[in-house]
A and B are shown apart, each in its own frame.
Chain A
């Protein structure tokens, strides 16, 4: 079951510049694991030992998954995940 994941600029070095990629999984956790297989290093950029890193947000459509079921949030085919990291700079 495929979902679309929007990749923010700082992480596109891991996806060879692709701004969105397809990944398989029925939960956010499974999708991140699949992303790690396809794009090594992605898991470490998104997760730490406590779950989703504090300065990273993962959205399912317009909903922050922290307000759903976090990494266990269920996904269906065609869903869109967006990764929004905190950035500093200017």
Chain B
């Protein structure tokens, strides 16, 4: 499987999946560890500040991955319009924990076009969400959120995020991924976690006939970079900060 982003969500997900013995765990990121990451990105310690996240994650995951027989692979890049479909095509499942909308929509589109299941996760301040989309599945991310928001959006750098919230959501993403790989499929439900009230809810998601990706007359038939440009700055930055 491919894990997009080794941030607050990707770290706990990677740890759970490496221990689970998922065959090959391919991870994509090109960021370096920052001191501000340490409260939530549990694969890194103070000694890793300034180090490539992939190197630090590989070091942390090595013993458990060897024990479970998981092969850990690294892609030193970003998940971008020109490599998204190829990356999705090369795995059985994609997990994205990106911190920007452009990458989330790109992952949704690439996975749908390549008929790959995808697990989406997000966390901000005290709230987190996760859900799983079947191969070529309906409903998809665009059924619920439609398109890349325009204008400035909150992210972890500006708004902050609670470490335990993304820890729980990252673990839930790993569980959803394992469930999908085991053939138990994806349920059309969005999990929402409210860390202030310790409430975990399942919200049913319905497929939208007018969805441009999975609807009855889809208009998204390939990856067009322009479709993600309203959040261009996010694509140009790390996907996991």
Interface residues of A (CB under 8 A from B): 8-10, 19, 53-55, 57, 59, 62-64, 66-67, 82, 84, 86-90
Contact = CB atoms under 8 A, between A and B. Distances in A.
Given A67-B206, A90-B7, A9 B196 contact: yes
B204 A90 contact: no
Contacts of A53: 149
Interface stretch (B45-53, B86-94, B123-131, B218-226): B123-131
B100 A88 contact: yes
Contact of B192 (A19, A66, A84, A90): A84
A88 B98 contact: yes
A54 B146 contact: yes
Interface in B87-145: 97-101, 104, 121-129, 144-145
A90 B146 contact: no
B36 interface: no
Nearest to B129: A87
Interface size range on B against A: 35 or more
Contacts, number: 91
Given A9-B127, A10-B127, A87-B122, A19 B146 contact: no
A59 B192 CA distance: 13
B154 interface: yes
A8 B104 CA distance: 20
Contact of B99 (A62, A66, A90): A90
B194 A90 contact: no
Contacts of B144: 57, 64, 86
A88 B99 contact: yes
Contacts of B149: 53-55, 86
Interface in B1-37: 5, 7-10
B98 A90 contact: yes
